[in-house]
Amino acid sequence: MAHLPIRAGALSFAHNEQKIANEVYGGRTGNTAPDDGFAYRGRGLLQLTGNDSYAQATKILRDSYPRPTSSLIPRLSSVQTRA
């Protein structure tokens, strides 16, 4: 019966991916809010994990691919709409 508390605790995580992610990733790699572990779990091609990694990747991408200037953005007024 020594395994019962561990098994009972593990069963509370069964089929609950949000609870698992918050347990594994919460409180580290910049995850400070209650659901950051789930929000910043590994996903995508690079499998970024953690708020800090997301922030760093966002900065790198924004620095590498700046927003187009307003002259390159089509104006809505130039787009004809059907009535």
In contact, 29 and 53? CB cutoff 8 Å: yes
- List helix spans (H) across the chain: 4-11, 17-25, 36-39, 51-64
Give the pair of three-digit tokens for residue 27.
């409180």
CA dist., res. 54 & res. 62, Å (int):
12
Other C-beta atoms within 10 Å of 75: how many?
A: 8
12 strand-pairing partners: none
Q: What is the pLDDT of residues 2-35, one digit of tens each?
A: 444 677 788 888 899 999 999 999 999 999 999 9
Give the pair of three-digit tokens for residue 12.
């509370």
pLDDT of residue 11: 87
Q: What is the pLDDT of residues 20-79, one digit of tens each?
A: 999 999 999 999 999 999 999 988 888 888 999 999 998 998 888 877 666 655 665 555
